Structure 1
């Protein structure tokens, strides 16, 4: 362990994607003897607990700001108010936020108003449309105007920040720490597709062996040898006719081809659940799953023939696992995934999804080529680079 560093870092998260990406940073900070406090807003309440256990992360302060059917303004106002009290007690030197959630924006605002430095992990992502994704695109733009330290996953992200007036000295290109987490967990499950490299001491709790749950292993056994399609969809802009149309297309695709299956971890949002049950419930070779813990989700991703998703995080995870991805969005803040050849933009027209699914099925050239693509989001060393830059500038 390194000599303790004087800075006191407070790390804030509220959702599953945030803690997945921040866990490697938390472990790296603590390994270097840097005072670290972990704070959860509980923006996603019941979804977080299994992730914290698997990632070996202990929460020091839980703001308990999550409520059912909450809107962005509800979350932001509660988190800012609770953080203001906490900051007065903890007096951190730096607050680290990740990505583009309402929790991240609230953390940046609360820290700025208390004169505390803000570090932004995954800085510089832009879709080009401030309303898509909503409210994430505006959240990250606002955080960039507040942050003092910007941890950009790619050179493209750095260039965006520079064009917006951020000094190069405030930016570090680190890669995305989701690659760190995904690589670690994939190794703990066995058979990492990308590398046999070991990143951490295997005696650590966050490197202990992992096993896929019995339910998921049974489904993977049933679908073994089939062309399994993994679907995730939850974004607000997908709600309504777009989502119902896409689900109908996938239902018909699976029904038409006997050698296919659909695995769909259904988000708890009622806007997703209701339409899913109406369209997909009871369909043959369609597996509707409760939200998966991360190790099970990785196992399902690794077994997938094709991934269909509107998730930003999946656009980073698919290249790490060498999996082809159809993105259910009109644009993406991660063009590197598209340029690399791993991802293809579908847009919001279900007819386009039908066409692309058919193309993938009838000609697997692209599907097979993705395994050889270099990951544009880093090599699993993002946490180390983030902490290096933080120590120099905090």
Structure 2
């Protein structure tokens, strides 16, 4: 069996790689070796535990208020030594984090093929999102196999000179994870949310944490306060653990009657909260994919996005980060049922729940051990997709 190093370090990477790890484990051609950098500590560990995954190696690089340079140095130092001692035939990285960049670079240094999941996303602005846009562009220069979620992502790569033969459109693995998580009978995981199912108010699920959002977080907090002034609205804020985020947002939203602030919820509980919400308001990349898939109108707290497909489909909208614009967009959407329903149709813009199957098939084809993979084609709706148990990823409870 071919040993494949799967390098992860953050909660989003864990969510999106968990179905792939399971698919690799279930395939007799491969043995996944899971390496955690520990870039995010508590949130990463909680997510891996939810999916029943235990890393084979953990670099444990996280420190308080770490800088990008510190993360990059510690991860590269740890990965270089590990890869030199571990005989793997490919290094699989996901997305656009510091772990992604350094995992790809470490694999390149060892002359091991780099496989990039969620390849080809582009905002067109090198500094938005920062540093993710640069990270994914750099990884594209050294990857041997580019697993693009959508046809648009593949087109981005082709425009940059990547050979079409090295690109496979798989759909996004986050939809595989979401389908499994959304089917789990689980609560909200926090006592402050225990009454949510009986609360008649509209629920706005709000979060913001991106680096480029940091200077504007107080304005976002003021917008949430304005939205919550409507007695028929309840704003739920799972607050990121980053102290910079907390110091900027908490003074604006803490202690208000219609705003419920909780610590970041474990993934399964967060999915339950997304299902209960009426609107998702976030700068999170995951929310841009998960919200539309669940039929939740998604308002994106950014000026540009590398995920334009949901914007084009009308299930998500860019609303920027100004207090006035955010407040207006949310209140207008809540008060206009026709407009709301236009955004609330579940769609498989980003995946059909079989991305992990295509990822493994593409990897087998790369090694000459299987046929070419039929690409993912967007269309239809998430809710109606085939959900046969044999096709769904199976994880430990």
Tell me whether the two structures share a fold, i.e. TM-score over 0.5.
Answer: yes
Q: What is residue 208 of structure 2 aligned with on the other side?
A: 233
Q: Is residue 283 of structure 1 aligned with residue 256 of structure 2? A: yes
Q: With the length of structure 1 as denominator, give the TM-score of the two structures.
A: 0.90
1:12 to 7, 10, 25: 7
> Which residue number corresponds to residue 26 of structure 1?
21
Aligned length: 366
Corresponding position of 2:124: 128
TM score, norm. by length of structure 2: 0.90
Q: Give the drift of 1:392.
A: 1.0
Counterpart-to-counterpart distance in 1, 2:252 and 2:82: 46
Q: CA deviation at 1:64?
A: 0.9
SS of residue paired to 2:326? helix
The gaps in structure 2 that reach 5 residues or longer are 368-397
Q: Does 1:83 align with 2:79?
A: yes
In the alignment, the residues of structure 1 paired with residue 187 and residue 274 of structure 2 have an alpha-carbon distance, to the nearest angstrom, of 15
Corresponding residue for residue 136 of structure 2: 140
CA contact 2:296–2:346 (8 Å) conserved in 1? no
User: In terms of mean alpha carbon deviation, does 366-375 or 278-287 score higher?
Assistant: 366-375
3-state SS of 2:134 partner: helix
How far is 1:146 from its partner?
0.9
Counterpart in 1 of 2:44?
Answer: 48
- How far apart, CA to CA, are the structure 2 residues paired with 1:19 and 1:290? 19
CA distance in 2 between counterparts of 1:136 and 1:225 reads 39
Q: 1:214 to 1:131 in 2, by over 3 A?
A: closer
Q: RMSD of the TM alignment (CA)?
A: 1.3
2:351 equivalent among 352, 360, 378: 378
* Deviation of the 1:367 alpha carbon: 2.0
Matched, 1:221 2:197: yes
Q: Within the alignment, does 1:297 sit opposite 2:270 as a pair? A: yes
- Aligned partner of 1:154 in structure 2 is 150
Cα deviation for residue 312 of structure 1 reads: 0.9
- Name the counterpart of 1:198: none
Secondary structure at the residue paired with 1:284? Answer: coil
Which residues of structure 1 form unaligned runs of 5+? 1-5, 190-209
Q: How much does 1:219 deviate?
A: 4.0
Label 1:211 to 1:353 Cα distance change in 2 as closer, same or farther (>3 A): closer
Mapping of residues 1-394 of structure 1, within 5 Å: 6-33=1-28, 34-189=30-185, 210-213=186-189, 215=191, 217-221=193-197, 224-240=199-215, 242-255=216-229, 257-394=230-367
- Whether the 8 Å CA contact 1:216–1:296 is kept in 2: the answer is no
Q: Distance in 2 between matches of 1:364 and 1:378?
A: 27
